[in-house]
Amino acid sequence: MNKKKSHNIILSLSTKDLKTLANSFGISNFNSDTKIHYENEISLRFLSKLQKKSFPPESIIELALSFPTGVVAGIVGTWLYEKIKKKCSKVRLNGEDTKITKEDISLTISIVIRKKNE
């Protein structure tokens, strides 16, 4: 059986409204069973959730972002941006901070992939 190669990136999202963020992905909450698929190409799998003690409280969600090597970073970045815009205060991809714009998320995904391939 021929298995497709894929890119795997750790996605960290900081939000003050976890429920609205979860709803944007079509789920009610993030938990150990969370698996999100888009177009049978892009997938997100729950890794962890951290509640920061601040006012208002802030949650940090870590997800494993996976997509086949043939999928363009811009497609993944645009899809991700549409899900998180106005819902997250901070985004990190494999530890790389990125601005919450389509272009910056797509560019950071490309940089992360390039670094992994070096």
- Whether 109 and 93 have beta carbons less than 8 Å apart is answered as yes
Query: Which pTM was predicted?
Result: 0.89
Q: Above 60 in pLDDT, residue 2?
A: no
Point out which residues pair with 66 in neighbouring strands.
8, 43
- Whether 43 and 35 have beta carbons less than 8 Å apart is answered as yes
- Domain ranges within the chain, ordered by starting residue: 6-117
CATH of domain 6-117: 3.30.70
Per-residue confidence (pLDDT) for residue 3, from 0 to 100: 59
pLDDT more than 70, % of the chain: 97
Residues 25-62: tens digit of each pLDDT: 999 999 999 999 998 889 999 999 998 887 778 999 99
Q: Above 80 in pLDDT, residue 103?
A: yes
